[in-house]
Amino acid sequence: MNWDDTTDTSAAERLVGASADREDQAVEAALRPKDLGEFIGQEKVREQLDLVLRAARARGATADHVLLSGAPGLGKTTLSMIIAAEMGAPIRITSGPAIQHAGDLAAILSSLQEGEVLFLDEIHRMSRPAEEMLYMAMEDFRVDVIVGKGPGATAIPLELPPFTLVGATTRAGLLPPPLRDRFGFTAHMEFYEPAELERVVHRSASLLDVEIEPNGAAEIAGRSRGTPRIANRLLRRVRDYAQVKADGLITREIAAAALAVYEVDARGLDRLDRAVLEALLKLFGGGPVGLSTLAVAVGEERETVEEVAEPFLVREGLLARTPRGRVGTPAAWAHLGLTPPRSSANGQQDLFGA
């Protein structure tokens, strides 16, 4: 094979990338808690969900439908797998974007076994016809399959075995009330505290057979943006650094050095976060600036800036969304070690109501 050929090189890069993704997925699967006792954090959700599942087992019934909302990486998929394990039932996993027609959903529902858990990720992105079919399936365990078209179309009722739907969403507000109301239990998952993330890091390090000191775990947890998935990802990258550059033991100094290599700063900001802040402050004097303009300035898609970088920057108090555009806060100037122009500072005081 001629590796100088651009097409071949691109294919090779895709192959390597796909292999790395599969490896990461395998490691993530190995780190997932298997039951509620192993699951760290989300104390209220775990307590409430434990009651729901215990009561269902005591009645010998299928568990109520469950809706989990919250930011990516907080454990919604893991909890769906735990629900299936606690109920001793198989699990079927799909997502809203994959269900674009009512027939897609009917095919999935009609093949479910009694008691099976159907995990529907990004449920808010399901098509409207499929969504309307789901109403009847959740409430009456029945769907009407339409055969034919026009005046001669016939609805054939199809009975379904009792099943448990676990819906996951990052944007619960986009779910229509009729769908939201059909869930017997709804839970909102919160970001993790640093102490909880330290426990996550220690547990994962033990499963990965990695030596880590308490202050090393604290350093990783503090840069993980309140998200277990990110904590586990950073742990794996710090492990790599410790194996290559040190003796394999993760200390605070090793963790800090490793995360500096991967461009994750002490507050958890990564390359994209810093690029957005630097463009906002250095190029546009702290704003206000429109989202599209900001995205062009950092060379990213508008959706990437809005959905990946902005939520964390807003939560950290480094960026504000105002009617006139995005604005860097005084904390953003301080974090980057920059001094705001006087005119910018006065304008921001007006925007923030000071």
Q: Point out the catalytic residue in the list 62, 164, 169, 170.
A: 170
pLDDT of residue 236: 92
Would you say 213 is a known binding-site residue? Answer: no
Cis preceding linkage at 288, omega within 30: yes
- What is the pLDDT, as a whole number, of residue 155? 66
Q: Which residue in the list 46, 225, 229, 274 is annotated as catalytic?
A: 229
Domain assignment present for residue 215? The answer is: yes
Question: What's the pLDDT score for residue 16?
Answer: 45
My answer on whether 152 and 94 are in the same domain is: yes
Helix extents (H) in 68-213? 76-87, 102-110, 128-140, 177-180, 194-207
**Percent of the chain having pLDDT more than 90?**
26
Choice between 182 and 102, residue whose per-residue pLDDT is larger: 182
Residue 123 lies in a domain: yes
121 included as an active-site residue: yes
d(CA 223, CA 218): 9
Q: Which residues does 164 contact at the CB level (< 8 Å), separation at least 6?
A: 62, 63, 64, 65, 66, 83, 87, 89, 115, 116, 117, 118
Q: 284 with 245, same domain?
A: no
Catalytic entry in 62, 77, 164, 251: 77
In the chain, % of residues over pLDDT 70: 85
What residue numbers bound the domain in which 250 lies?
A: 194-261
78 marked as binding residue: yes
The lowest-confidence range among 8-12, 165-169, 340-344 is 8-12
- Predicted pLDDT of residue 66: 92
Q: Which two tokens stand for residue 41?
A: 């954090």
Query: Is 4 within a domain?
Result: no
Active site residue 229: yes
Report CA 130 to chain centroid distance, whole Å: 23
Domain boundary among 261, 280, 314: 261
Helix H or strand E segment including 92: strand 91-95
> What DSSP character marks residue 232?
H
Asked if residue 224 and residue 141 are part of one domain, the reply reads no
Cα angle 273, 346, 282; round to 5: 35
Phi-psi region of 15 (alpha: psi -120 to 50; beta: other; left: phi over 0): alpha
In a domain, 77, yes or no: yes
Average of pLDDT values for 25-29?
64
Q: Are residues 43 and 171 in the same domain?
A: yes
149 is a catalytic site residue = no
Supply the pLDDT for residue 181: 87
* pLDDT tens readout for residues 277-299: 888 898 888 878 888 888 888 88
> Would you say residue 5 lies in a domain?
no
Q: State the pLDDT confidence band at 265, using cuts at 50, 70 and 90.
A: confident
The CATH number covering residue 241 comes to: 1.10.8.60
**Is 342 inside any structural domain?**
yes
Asked whether residue 161 is assigned to any structural domain, the reply reads: yes
Where does a domain end: 142, 159, 188? 188
Name the catalytic one among 46, 62, 76, 169. Answer: 76
Q: Is 252 annotated as a binding residue?
A: no
Whether 170 and 69 have beta carbons less than 8 Å apart is answered as: yes
pTM to 2 decimal places: 0.79
pLDDT at 138 over 90: no
Q: Is 282 annotated in the active site?
A: no
CATH number of the domain residue 315 falls in: 1.10.10.10
Same domain membership, residue 85 and residue 170? yes
Judge whether 14 lies within some domain. no
The answer on whether 76 is annotated among ligand-binding residues is yes
Bridge partners of 185, per DSSP, are 66
Range of weakest confidence among 27-41, 61-75, 123-137, 150-164: 150-164
Q: What is the mean pLDDT of residues 301-314?
A: 86
Any long-range contacts for 340-347 (C-beta under 8 Å, 24+ apart)? 340/281, 340/285, 340/286, 341/285, 341/286, 343/285, 344/285, 344/286, 345/286, 347/286, 347/288
Name the CA radius of gyration of the chain, rounded: 24
Q: Are residues 336 and 224 in the same domain?
A: no
What phi, psi does 192 have (nearest 5°)? -85, 150
Do residues 180 and 281 share a domain? no
291 with 204, same domain: the answer is no
CATH number, residue 75: 3.40.50.300
139 is in an annotated binding site: yes
Give residue 20's pLDDT band: very low, low, confident or very high (50, 70, 90): very low
- Identify whether the C-beta of residue 213 lies closer than 8 Å to the C-beta of residue 249: yes
**Cα–chain-centroid distance for residue 84?**
20
Burial (CB < 10 A; 0-12, 13-18, 19+), residue 165, is buried
Residue 229 in marked binding region: yes
Average pLDDT score over residue span 17-43: 72
Last residue of a domain, one of 220, 241, 261: 261
Pairing relationship of beta strands 185-188 and 319-322 according to DSSP bridges: unpaired
User: Please, what is the average pLDDT of the chain?
Assistant: 83
Residues 236 and 140 in one domain: no
Query: Are 155 and 248 members of one domain?
Result: no
**Antiparallel, parallel or unpaired: β 66-69 and 154-159:** unpaired
Predicted confidence (pLDDT) at residue 2 exceeds the cutoff of 50: no
Catalytic residue check, 62: no
Residue spans of beta strands (DSSP E) within 108-246: 117-121, 142-147, 154-159, 164-169, 185-188
Of residues 62, 121, 169, 233, which has the active-site annotation?
121
Regarding whether 277 and 151 lie in a shared domain, the answer is no
Report how many domains make up the chain.
Answer: 3
Quick one: 290 and 161 in the same domain? Answer: no
342 annotated as a binding-site residue:
no
- Compute the distance between CA of residue 201 and CA of residue 14 in angstroms, rounded to an integer: 30
- Start-to-end Cα distance in the chain: 65
171 is in an annotated binding site: no
